[in-house]
């Protein structure tokens, strides 16, 4: 069974069909990449999966369960985490606090026990910190753990966002342009981390990416999108050499 399937999803904003009858299946344990020119509808697909948008038609299945009607705040609990293209971190909080917000889906306490900070809340806090610490170790963020996000350089923020997504203990992680704004070296690091996330943590990766070097290095399967429609489907090499895809990027 596929981990995540999109079945003929479409979304319309006014007269524009941003995503038009797109179907794909992400298998467990793979890196699945969506490429396409600007405005092709890649991020819109992410927003459909995180339930920020409601599809006009079609269904989204996660582990066989229909999530098309799910509330957006329940998505993290199901095991779908995401990062954002323009970095949506909590600017006036420390790295550790950001990661702890990533643990929110695993909260067991209620507001009354929190007001009194009962021992159960304290135990839960320690458990959350242990998990956050594992992720900090995994992504080498030790020296930034107490810095405010507002004081961090762009490249580090990208990694912190990845860390925050990992803290939710997802089954699938949606990466929206993990390499945008990173230099060559940081992009290489990102490629290693994506490999590690797949191999060591066993988390499936669905990503949107423009850097073809990164795409070919890590992706198992790729689809190419243009004007909301799927153009091609296959391995990175196949999709790159597809005449339709070349036409979409370079023109006739």
Partner 1 sequence: MRFIFKTDYQQDIRVWRHGGDLFWYGLLLVSMIVAPTVLDDFYLGELSVVLVWAVAAIGLMLLVGYTGLVSLGHAAFLGIGAYTEAYLLGQGVPFLISFPLAGLVTAMAGVAIGVPTLRMTGLYLAIATLAFATIVEKVFSNWNSVTGGFDGLPVEYPSLFGYELAESWHFYYLCLCVLVAVIWFSTNLLRSPTGRAMVAIRDSEISAQSMGVNLAKYKTIAFAISAGITGLAGGLFAHYVQHLAPDAFSILLSIQLLLAVIVGGVGSIHGAIYGAIFIGILPQAIAILRDYLPSKIADTAGLEPGIFGLILVYIILAEPMGIYGRWLKIRFFFDLFPLYKKATFKRQKSFTKSERLR
The contact set with partner 1 (CB under 8 A) reads 50, 52, 71-77, 81-82, 84, 86-93, 96-97, 100-105, 107, 109, 111, 114-117, 121-122, 125-126, 129-130, 150, 154, 157, 164, 168
User: How far is it, in rounded angstroms, from Cα 57 to Cα 74?
Assistant: 21
User: How far is it, in rounded angstroms, from Cα 229 to Cα 69?
Assistant: 23
Q: Where are the beta strands (DSSP E) in the chain?
A: 4-13, 16-26, 31-35, 57-62, 65-66, 80-82, 172-176, 204-208, 221-226, 229-234
CB of 250 to partner 1, least distance (A): 30
- Of 87 and 246, the one with the shorter C-beta distance to partner 1 is 87
Beta-carbon-side half-sphere exposure of residue 31 (alpha carbons within 13 Å):
25
CB of 231 to partner 1, least distance (A): 28
- Of 81 and 215, the one with the shorter C-beta distance to partner 1 is 81
Q: Could you tell me which residues come within 8 angstroms of residue 136 by beta carbon, excluding any fewer than 6 positions away? A: 95, 96, 99, 142, 145, 163
CB of 4 to partner 1, least distance (A): 15
- Of 2 and 85, the one with the shorter C-beta distance to partner 1 is 85
CB of 174 to partner 1, least distance (A): 9
CB of 236 to partner 1, least distance (A): 27
CB of 241 to partner 1, least distance (A): 35
- Of 140 and 244, the one with the shorter C-beta distance to partner 1 is 140
Q: DSSP secondary-structure letter at 27?
A: P
- Of 8 and 142, the one with the shorter C-beta distance to partner 1 is 142
- Of 130 and 185, the one with the shorter C-beta distance to partner 1 is 130
Angle at Cα 85 formed by Cα 28 and Cα 183, nearest 5°?
95
CA distances from 231 to 40, 56, 120, 226, 246 (A): 10, 21, 53, 7, 10
């Amino acid at each position: 069974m596929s981990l995540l399937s999109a079945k003929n999803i479409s979304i319309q904003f006014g007269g524009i069909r941003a995503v038009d009858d797109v179907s794909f299946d992400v298998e467990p344990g793979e890196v699945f990449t969506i490429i396409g020119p600007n405005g092709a509808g890649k991020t819109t697909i992410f927003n459909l999966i995180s339930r920020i948008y409601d599809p006009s038609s079609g269904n989204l299945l996660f582990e066989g369960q229909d999530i098309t009607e799910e509330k957006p705040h329940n998505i993290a609990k199901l095991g779908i985490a995401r990062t954002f293209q323009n970095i949506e971190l909590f600017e006036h909080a420390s790295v550790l606090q950001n990661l702890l917000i990533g643990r929110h889906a695993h909260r067991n306490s209620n507001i009354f026990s929190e007001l009194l900070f009962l021992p159960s809340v304290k135990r839960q806090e320690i458990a959350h910190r242990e998990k956050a610490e594992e992720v900090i170790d995994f992504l080498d963020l030790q020296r930034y753990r107490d810095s405010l996000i507002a004081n961090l350089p762009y490249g580090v923020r990208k990694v912190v966002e990845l860390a925050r997504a990992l803290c939710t203990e997802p089954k699938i992680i949606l990466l929206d342009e993990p390499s945008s704004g990173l230099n060559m070296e940081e992009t290489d690091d990102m490629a290693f981390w994506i490999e590690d996330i797949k191999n060591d943590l066993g988390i499936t990766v669905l990503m949107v990416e423009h850097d073809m070097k990164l795409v070919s290095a890590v992706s198992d399967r790729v689809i190419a999108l243009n004007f909301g429609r799927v153009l091609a489907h296959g391995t990175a090499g196949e999709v790159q050499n597809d005449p339709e895809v070349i036409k979409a990027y370079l023109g006739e």
